Amino acid sequence: MLRIDNLVKSFGGEKSRGKKKTASSAAVFAVNNVSFEVKEGELFTLLGPSGCGKTTTLRSIAGLEKPDSGTISVGDRVMFSSTGRGRTVNMPANKRGLGMVFQSYAIWPHMTVFDNVAFPLQVRERSDRPSKKVIAEKVERVLATMQLSEQSGRQATKLSGGQQQRLALARALVIEPPLLLLDEPLSNLDAKLRESLRYELKRLQRELGITSVYVTHDQVEALALSTQIAVMERGGVVQLGKPRDIYEQPANKFVAEFIGTSNFIPGTVASQRAGRHCVETSNGILYLESASQLPVGSEVVVSIRPEAVELSTTARGEQVANEWQGTVVTRAFLGDAVDHVVAVGEHEVRARVNPSVSIESGTSVYLQLDPSKISLVPVN
Ligand SMILES: Nc1ncnc2c1ncn2[C@@H]1O[C@H](COP(=O)(O)OP(=O)(O)OP(=O)(O)O)[C@@H](O)[C@H]1O
Ligand SMILES: [Mg+2]
CATH number, position 374: 2.40.50.100
Q: Which atom of ligand 1 is nearest to the CA of 48?
A: 21
Q: Tell which residue, 261, 258, 260, 262, has the closest CA to residue 49.
A: 258
Domain boundary among 217, 248, 279: 248
Same domain, 131 and 225: yes
For residue 217 and ligand 1, the question of a CB distance below 6 A is answered with yes
- Quick one: how far is CA 117 from the chain centroid? 28
Same domain, 68 and 121: yes
For residue 264 and ligand 1, the question of a CB distance below 6 A is answered with no
In a domain, 138, yes or no: yes
Residue-level pLDDT at 312 = 94
Same domain, 179 and 91: yes
Over the stretch 81-119, which tens digit does the pLDDT of each residue have?
998 677 889 999 988 989 888 876 678 888 999 999 999
pLDDT band for position 21 (cuts 50, 70, 90): very low
pLDDT band for position 290 (cuts 50, 70, 90): confident
Residue-level pLDDT at 16 = 44
Question: Does residue 317 carry a pLDDT above 60?
Answer: yes
Question: Does residue 18 carry a pLDDT above 70?
Answer: no
Domain boundary among 216, 248, 280: 248
For residue 96 and ligand 1, the question of a CB distance below 6 A is answered with no
- The pTM of the full predicted model, rounded to 2 decimals, is 0.79
Same domain, 165 and 190: yes
Residue closest via CA to ligand 1's atom 30 equals 51
Question: Residue 351 burial (CB < 10 Å; 0-12/13-18/19+)?
Answer: buried
CATH of the domain at 168: 3.40.50.300
Q: Are strands 276-281 and 228-233 parallel, antiparallel or unpaired?
A: unpaired
Mean pLDDT of the chain: 88
Contact between 376 and 290 (Cβ < 8 Å): yes
Least confident among 9-23, 93-107, 143-157:
9-23
Q: Tell which residue, 101, 52, 19, has the closest CA to residue 238.
A: 52
Instruction: Give the ligand with the smallest distance to the CA of 30.
Output: 1
In a domain, 255, yes or no: no
In a domain, 124, yes or no: yes
d(CA 36, CA 5): 7
Number of other CB atoms surrounding residue 67 within 10 Å: 27
For residue 230 and ligand 1, the question of a CB distance below 6 A is answered with no
Question: Residue 313 burial (CB < 10 Å; 0-12/13-18/19+)?
Answer: exposed
In a domain, 253, yes or no: no
Q: Which atom of ligand 1 is nearest to the CA of 184?
A: 27
Over the stretch 177-235, which tens digit does the pLDDT of each residue have?
889 999 998 877 777 777 777 877 888 888 888 899 999 998 888 888 899 999 999 99
Residues 6 or more apart whose CB falls under 8 angstroms from that of 86 comprise none
d(CA 200, CA 221): 12
Same domain, 184 and 86: yes
In a domain, 36, yes or no: yes
The angle at the Cα of 210, spanning 208 to 213, to the nearest 5 degrees, equals 145
For residue 351 and ligand 1, the question of a CB distance below 6 A is answered with no
Q: Which atom of ligand 1 is nearest to the CA of 58?
A: 18
pLDDT band for position 336 (cuts 50, 70, 90): confident
Residue-level pLDDT at 50 = 92
- Order of strands, edge to edge, in the sheet holding 284-289? 284-289, 276-281, 263-273, 299-304, 374-378
CA distances from 39 to 2, 164, 191, 231, 303 (A): 7, 29, 30, 17, 31
In a domain, 254, yes or no: no
Residue-level pLDDT at 286 = 93
Same domain, 54 and 148: yes
Residue-level pLDDT at 376 = 82
Q: Tell which residue, 68, 4, 62, 61, has the closest CA to residue 36.
A: 4
d(CA 331, CA 351): 9
Over the stretch 23-47, which tens digit does the pLDDT of each residue have?
556 788 999 999 999 999 999 999 9
In a domain, 10, yes or no: yes
In a domain, 312, yes or no: yes
For residue 56 and ligand 1, the question of a CB distance below 6 A is answered with yes
Instruction: Give the ligand with the smallest distance to the CA of 31.
Output: 1
Domain boundary among 248, 280, 307: 248
Same domain, 62 and 16: yes
Same domain, 81 and 108: yes
**Domain hosting residue 311, numbered range:** 261-378
Question: Does residue 265 carry a pLDDT above 60?
Answer: yes
For residue 341 and ligand 1, the question of a CB distance below 6 A is answered with no
d(CA 180, CA 166): 14
For residue 236 and ligand 1, the question of a CB distance below 6 A is answered with no
Residue closest via CA to ligand 1's atom 28 equals 51
Instruction: Please give the average per-residue pLDDT across 57-62, as a whole number.
Output: 96
Residue-level pLDDT at 19 = 47
Q: Which atom of ligand 1 is nearest to the CA of 59?
A: 18
Same domain, 192 and 58: yes
Residue-level pLDDT at 24 = 54
Same domain, 325 and 240: no
Residue closest via CA to ligand 1's atom 19 equals 51
Same domain, 284 and 160: no
Count of domains for the chain: 2
Same domain, 295 and 162: no
